[in-house]
Chain A
Amino acid sequence: MHEKRNVLRGVWGLLLWPYILTVSMPLDCKEEPGSLTRCPSISQEKLLDRVIHHAELIYRVSEESCSLFEEMFIPLPLRLQSNQAGFACITKTLPIPSSKSEIEQISDKWLLHSVLMLVQSWIEPLVYLQTTLDRYDHAPEMLVNKTKWVSEKLVSLEQGVVALIKKMLDEGTFTTTYNEQGLFQYDTLPDMLESVMRDYTLLSCFKKDAHKMETFLKLLKCRQADKFNCA
């Protein structure tokens, strides 16, 4: 009896195996954090690693861009005082913890959501930054390229974080509401220096936030493993 059943299952499996394959596996399963489709083939750890890697890269490039911009356009006395112009970081209003003790207390979910918030907040301003750089007389090509690159990577990072959220928190996709708040204003300032300072502030803030993202994700990673693989 059992044998017959098994044999029958086997036969069905043989007959239907192409169908099964196509159903179970998405055709175009890219193992990237930017992929929206759920790829069962990639593990959570791997996905998280890739997301972290993305974040690291973004931070490094943003740091380089900021230094470049500072060298080119910011006069020396103003360099150490990024706040002098009075421009606050656009993400200041976001409820993101900024001390270690606080961060240690928030849950994984909040960490992820914080990251997502940050990422989504910065997509638009970076696009704006690309356009503003064209107005500069001698914007070095490297700076322009880096800014462009970062902008692209940020989008991928967003996708990755979304996928991670899905994986880790088993939440469905949800549209972000943060961008709708319109954190960023596109005012064109009459004063050249002010405009420059604003752009500089923008870059600095982005650099900081990139670091935040990276740190959060790393914390998240080290929380996952029971083996304390971060020790």
Chain B
Amino acid sequence: MMTKVGEVLLLLLLPAFVPHTDGTHYSLPGKPTDIKCRSPEKETFTCWWKPGSDGGLPTTYALYYRKEGSDVVHECPDYHTAGKNSCFFNKNDTLIWVSYNITVVATNALGKTYSDPLDVDVVYIVKPHPPEKLEVTVMKDQGWPFLRVSWEPPRKADTRSGWITLIYELRVKLEDEESEWENHAAGQQKMFNIFSLRSGGTYLIQVRCKPDHGFWSEWSSTSYVKVPEYLHRGKSVWILVLVFSAFILLLLTWLIQMNSHSLKHCMLPPVPGPKIKGFDKQLLKSGKSDEVFSALVVSDFPPTTSNYEDLLVEYLEVYMPEQQELMVDKGKDHDGCLKSIGSASDSDSGRGSCDSDNLLMDKSGAPKEEQQQQNQEGDQIGKETQGPKEAWEKEAMPCANEDVVSPDASSEKVKTWPSVFSPVTPYSPLDPHNSLEMHKQHCLSNTQFPPGSPSSDHYIKEALQSSYWEVCFNNNQPYPQTEVHPQLQAHSDRNISAVNDRNAPTGLLLPTQMTEYVEVQRVNEENKVLLHPIPSGHSREKACPWVGQRDDYSKVKGVDSDNGLLLQREVVEEESMEMAGAAESCYTSSIAFTTPKQTACSPVALPVQDERVLAVSGYVDTATVFSLHT
């Protein structure tokens, strides 16, 4: 009976013993893991562990430790101070430089589970608390702000006695999303300065510490600080710099403007104006041509002396400004030619052509001059004085209309001349002393005026010839103060293709090195200078027999490589017809322009046809002046 009751009771009570859970599996507790011990001040320490699964049953944990060299096992004195799953060792229980062998045991109804042991020495596990009382103040250093950060060591760390030595580190960040933390090591000091702040910015500051051998603490709580604006200081300097530089710029501009005129002069030298002796611009401007022209009249022009010998030019020397003048002074006064009225600065103006007494203009030219004067005196002068261009133009006209002896000038070749000269503007800034040159150019270019002229070479030639006139006739007159010589010089660079058979345009100018000269035989009615070559030096006597030769050198065959005009020698007989029957006396004496002399030779076209290389000899130093293609 009793046993039966007992069994029933057991059966009834059995469910009570049976676990209520549905299908849970009870097991031993899981092993505690990750035991971590830390000491904040090297005097106490705490150990934490991570519990494993509890196995379904209430589990208790216990920590046991064993000191180094001792087999006595102690249990954790304090499980609560440091929180759950922790063990706190207070000062009395803590030994420094002693290894603790720590084990955590998990216990539940079914059994115990031991964790892995851990050896701990307190000195190596020090991790202090973060520094305290972090203060940040904005201070000013001569107007520039900076941050002064100060803090205190954690309360518990005994730095005072030197038991623990802490080193600090702080970090700063702008309150931007993009900015990064900037770390600064502060050593053992408890204060730090931060410079180079952004004006108006807000900064976040944190600080942490570490014992000399140990772990870093956590970062302290953040301190916020706002930097006041100090923008003005920095920018005012820039504003000042800008204003100053603007002022300098204005000053420079003003200065340049003031001196623009002289600068222009410097950079773009002005084109020289005409320099005619006795030429008065003002008078011209006033419009009273008569007065102007009369001013040009020089007393001793036209030459009235009967000594035309002087006027006869045996040879003409071309004055080169750079070269030495070969002045064959025959006792003539060339002042008229030489002087440039109005401007003493022209050192070479007009001198060359008239300077030497070897002008190709012989005395035949003088009558021509006279003729001219008689015929066109006013006109000519007028032309001269009207302005170089106009004068030359007018000269060109007569040039054009005359029939020159040289008939066979190929128009093609001739055309080269104008083509050569046409691009040359009358007032192109050539050698300022080459006004004569310019005139020549005028003449040449203006040869295009007469349209469809049959023989354009006429024009050129005549133009050239006439140009020389201008030079030589006005020995006492103000004449364009130009040297024919330089003119020609200037043209040498031009590619004048085959200037054919014409007399070397000027034949007036000869370089000093020339040994052969062409003599102006005469000047014909049409104001042509008739040239004939002089076989040798300055023999005047030889000149005469030349007369009958009738060599026509008026045609330029071509230009050789040395820039010499090759004159074509022709024997023209007609020309003699054309000659106005003037006396064919040859005056080979040089003409002195200053002394008006009559040239015995009537203006006769001087057809000189000879294949002479004018390079070295020749009329003019055209060889050197003009580079003519053969």
Contacts from A to B (Cβ < 8 Å): 56, 59, 63, 80-83, 88, 92, 98-101, 104, 208-209, 211-212, 215, 218-223, 228, 230-231
Cα–Cα distance between A35 and B517 once the two chains are bound (Å): 114
Determine the chain A residues whose CB is within 8 A of the CB of B158 once the complex forms.
100
- Report if B143 contacts A (CB, 8 A): no
B42 within 8 A of A: yes
Q: Indicate with 1 or 0, residue by residue over B157-178, a CB within 8 angstroms of chain A CB atoms.
A: 0111111010000000000000
Chain B residues with CB under 8 A of A81: 101, 117, 119
A164 to B69: give the CA distance in the assembly, Å. 33
Cβ-defined contact, B95 with A219, below 8 A: no
B68 contacts across to A, CB distance below 8 A: 83, 88
What residues of B have a CB within 8 angstroms of the CB of A100 in the complex? 42-43, 91, 94, 96, 158, 163
Asked whether A59 and B96 contact (CB < 8 A) given A82-B119, A104-B161, A211-B123, the answer is no
Taking a contact as CB atoms under 8 Å apart, the answer to whether A63 and B213 are in contact is yes
Contact B159 A231 (CB under 8 A): yes
Task: Please indicate the chain A residues that have their CB under 8 angstroms from the CB of B134 in the complex.
Answer: none
How long is the Cα–Cα vector from A230 to B160 in the complex, in angstroms? 5
Specify which of A59, A80, A219, A220 is in contact with B119 (CB 8 Å cutoff): A80
Interface residues of B in 83-128 (CB under 8 A from A): 91-92, 94-99, 101, 117-119, 121, 123
Q: Which residue of A lies closest to B44 (CB)?
A: A100
Q: CA–CA, A218 to B211, complex, Å?
A: 13
Contact check, A218 vs B162: say whether CB atoms are below 8 A apart.
yes
Contact B165 A218 (CB under 8 A): yes
Inter-chain contact A219/B97, CB cutoff 8 Å: no
Q: Give how many B residues have a beta carbon under 8 Å from the other chain's beta carbons.
A: 27
The verdict on B212 contacting chain A, using a C-beta distance below 8 Å, is yes
CB-defined contacts of B42 to chain A, threshold 8 Å: 100
B117 near A230 with CB under 8 A, answer no
List chain B residues, Cβ under 8 A from A101.
Answer: 91-92
In the assembly, what is the distance between CA of A208 and CA of B119, in Å?
Answer: 14
Tell me which of B95, B159, B160 contacts A98 (CB under 8 A): B95
Contact of A228 among B91, B118, B160 (CB under 8 A): B160
The minimal Cβ–Cβ distance linking A18 to chain B, given in whole angstroms, is: 44
Minimum C-beta distance from B67 to chain A (A): 10
Q: How far is the CA of A228 from the CA of B165 in the complex (A)?
A: 13
Q: Are B99 and A98 closer than 8 Å at their CB atoms?
A: no
Bound form: Cα–Cα A37–B92 in Å: 43
**Does A222 contact B117, Cβ atoms closer than 8 Å?**
no
What are 19 A-B pairs at a CB distance below 8 A?
A56-B212, A80-B117, A81-B101, A81-B117, A83-B119, A99-B94, A99-B95, A100-B96, A101-B91, A104-B161, A209-B97, A215-B96, A215-B163, A218-B165, A219-B163, A222-B160, A223-B161, A228-B160, A231-B160
Nearest CB of A to B214, in Å: 11
Given contacts A80-B119, A218-B162, 7 further A-B contacts (CB under 8 A): A81-B101, A88-B68, A98-B97, A215-B123, A215-B163, A223-B161, A223-B162
A231 CB contacts on chain B under 8 angstroms: 159-160
Chain B residues whose C-beta falls within 8 Å of the C-beta of A82 in the assembled complex: 99, 119
Q: Which of B330-387 contact A (CB under 8 A)?
A: none
Chain A CB within 10 A, most for which of B91, B161, B162, B165: B162
Residue in chain A with minimal CB distance to B116: A80
Q: Which of A59, A211, A220 contacts B97 (CB 8 A)?
A: A211
State A101–B92 Cα separation when bound (angstroms): 8
CA distance A208 to B96 in the complex (A): 10
The 6 A-B residue pairs with the shortest CB-CB distance, nearest first, are A222-B162, A218-B162, A230-B162, A231-B160, A80-B119, A219-B162
- Bound complex: CA A12 to CA B123 (Å): 60
Docked complex Cα distance between A64 and B121 (Å): 17
CB distance from B519 to the nearest CB of A (A): 112
Cross-chain contact A219 with B69 (CB below 8 angstroms): no
Q: How far is the CA of A230 from the CA of B158 in the complex (A)?
A: 10
Residue of B nearest to A56 (CB): B212
Quick one: which of A215, A220, A231 has the most chain B CB within 10 A? A215
B213 touches A88 (CB 8 A): no
Instruction: Name the A residues within 8 Å of B92 (CB-CB).
Output: 101
Output the nearest chain A residue to B118 by Cβ-Cβ distance. A80
How far does the alpha carbon of A126 sit from the alpha carbon of B98 in the complex, in Å?
A: 21
Question: Considering the chains assembled together, what is the distance between the CA atoms of A136 and B98 in angstroms?
Answer: 29
Given A56-B212, A82-B119, A100-B91: A208 touches B97 (CB 8 Å cut-off): yes
Query: Given A81-B117, A219-B161, A230-B162, does the pair A212, B213 have CB atoms closer than 8 Å?
Result: no
Residues of A within 8 A of B119 (CB): 80-83
Q: Say which residue of B43, B95, B213 sits within 8 Å of A211 (CB atoms).
A: B213
Interface string of B32-68 (1 = CB under 8 A from A): 0000000000110000000000000000000000001
From residue A215, how far is it (CB to closest CB) to chain B in Å? Answer: 7
Q: A81-B101, A83-B68, A211-B123 are in contact. Are A59 and B159 (CB under 8 A)?
A: no
Bound-state CA distance A222–B165 (Å) is: 11
Residue of B nearest to A63 (CB): B213
- Chain A residues whose C-beta falls within 8 Å of the C-beta of B96 in the assembled complex: 98-100, 215
